[in-house]
Chain A
């Protein structure tokens, strides 16, 4: 694993800015990897051994993802929308699992650890570098039940929605009256009022070279 300073610098670049959350996230990831015995999680040998559940869609989440290399598309990054500054690190090869929680008291303690730094954010940023892990985090040994359909690798199962024909992967279908139904058809979704549309330059491909921006394509559709 790269050194802390490099990881923070890279993470801030990927995330878009340097903030206290980057420090928390980088340190959480370093600790998590250490606890589950992975010293270089982004290297070829280790990348397939790791799954991380992230419980916050905040700055620290990006830092955890950057340091560990977990990705949504690789199915190694799982998002549990709990609104808690916590992440769970799973080593699939050893079944070693630890949940790390960022402590609330760390915020209150920032003025004690970096009294010479003015400004809340700058003070937290500096203090979070100085606090020992035992102050920044609580750690729980936990069990996580992963079924085959949550694992990285090729799609295990495809079903077709009995109502709309949409293909649903990895057992995310809902069974209603013994028939598979996709989530949108159950209306238990984050969106509503869905209706199909057509749009300008529907024939566009990267190859045919139509310059859609010249036709106010994005403005028209608020994209």
Chain B
């Protein structure tokens, strides 16, 4: 229960919550912390902050303060790879990456959590790469004092399936590159894919195990795939031959190599002719020619998730559609732009 008193009569009482000060463009934070005992000298400053009244809190048995609520909520929300401290600032607790990796949000749980009136949680986008310590999410209870039951229900919703917010580590995968195309194989043109893809792979902390070249021959492509698998590759990227020409036989080669799941076509531009396939549990990614021309393509959305152990199948490729349109900006700001953020 909250009791309102005039600020002049508040000397000697403890503040029920942090009192925020905002100096536009300069400062936003707690001018006074919860529990501070109001003294004579504080009255003028409190009035300057627009506080003519303060709350005294007398909690009923079934009520809790916003700081207690924030702790319960953060505990429910935080999954693996998340670090948080029970030190609410202005009623809010922030959740940070405990490891390098990709953000993993259970969007349904998050939505269900936020449908409860008394609580909120805002997060970064799902699947975004973060470094240890990066801010991932923040939560708070909305009222200053509230019933305990809805807070506990929200925390239960958030805690389902190991927590709503997590960070998955991006694993070091031994990667094989297979550059297809008779024009490259015969030396008619120089390969641009190998250096470009090697950098992308290595930037994510993985290593290139082998680079194979194959002409537009599905049997030779198949043999190159099997060679990569024999050498212990945990991920195989194939370039070229992913389009609609008669010479585009890479898909056939992947199929002949024994792929049990093949998903050709994504709802992403650039990257519509991208392919994901699996031989046992080893992912094979078919990178279309757009990967040479565009700095960022569907591959940049898929690679971190593959390395974090996610399975990229038909559903995942289809769900890229919302937000899957690159605006081809003059100055690319990925990953800070909307590209790939709709899933």
Closest A residue to B155 by beta carbon equals: A134
Interface string of A96-132 (1 = CB under 8 A from B): 0000000101001100110110000000000000111
B93 CB within 8 Å of chain A: no
Most buried by B among A115, A116, A134: A134
- B111-A112 in contact (CB<8A): yes
Task: Determine the distance from Cα of A130 to Cα of B315 in the docked complex, in whole angstroms.
Answer: 17
Task: Determine the distance from Cα of A113 to Cα of B111 in the docked complex, in whole angstroms.
Answer: 10
Q: Which B114-143 residues sit within 8 Å CB-CB of chain A?
A: 115-116
Interface string of B299-328 (1 = CB under 8 A from A): 000000000000000010011000000000
A138 CB within 8 Å of chain B: yes
- A108-B156 in contact (CB<8A): no
Q: Which A78-110 residues sit within 8 Å CB-CB of chain B?
A: 103, 105, 108-109
- A132-B160 in contact (CB<8A): yes
- B112-A105 in contact (CB<8A): yes
A185 CB within 8 Å of chain B: no
- A138-B111 in contact (CB<8A): no
A184 → B minimal CB distance (Å): 44
Beyond A132-B160, A134-B160, is A109–B319 a contact (Cβ under 8 Å)? no
- State the main secondary structure of chain A at its contact with B: helix
Interface string of A166-207 (1 = CB under 8 A from B): 000000000000000000000000000000000000000000
Residues of A within 8 A of B318 (CB): 116
A135 CB within 8 Å of chain B: yes
Residues of A within 8 A of B115 (CB): 103, 105, 108-109
Report the contact-size class of chain B (Cβ under 8 Å from the partner): 10 to 19
Q: Which B151-181 residues sit within 8 Å CB-CB of chain A?
A: 153, 156-157, 160
- B315-A116 in contact (CB<8A): yes
For chain A, the count of residues having a C-beta within 8 Å of the partner chain is 14
Residues of B within 8 A of A109 (CB): 108, 111-112, 115
- A131-B319 in contact (CB<8A): no
B30 CB within 8 Å of chain A: no
Task: Determine the distance from Cα of A116 to Cα of B160 in the docked complex, in whole angstroms.
Answer: 21
B311 → A minimal CB distance (Å): 14
Task: Determine the distance from Cα of A116 to Cα of B316 in the docked complex, in whole angstroms.
Answer: 10
Closest A residue to B153 by beta carbon equals: A134
B3 → A minimal CB distance (Å): 28
- B156-A112 in contact (CB<8A): no
Beyond A109-B115, A115-B319, A116-B315, is A134–B156 a contact (Cβ under 8 Å)? yes
Choose among A108, A112, A132, A135 the residue that contacts B107 (Cβ–Cβ < 8 A): A112
Task: Determine the distance from Cα of A209 to Cα of B111 in the docked complex, in whole angstroms.
Answer: 63
A100 → B minimal CB distance (Å): 13
Residues of B within 8 A of A112 (CB): 107-108, 111-112
Residues of A within 8 A of B156 (CB): 132, 134
Task: Determine the distance from Cα of A24 to Cα of B45 in the docked complex, in whole angstroms.
Answer: 55
- A135-B315 in contact (CB<8A): no
B341 → A minimal CB distance (Å): 16
- 4 A-B pairs besides A134-B112, A134-B156 with CB distance below 8 A are A109-B108, A130-B108, A131-B112, A132-B156
Q: Which 3 pairs from chain A and chain B are nearest by CB?
A: A105-B115, A112-B108, A135-B112
List residues of chain B with CB under 8 Å of any chain A CB. Answer: 107-108, 111-112, 115-116, 153, 156-157, 160, 315, 318-319
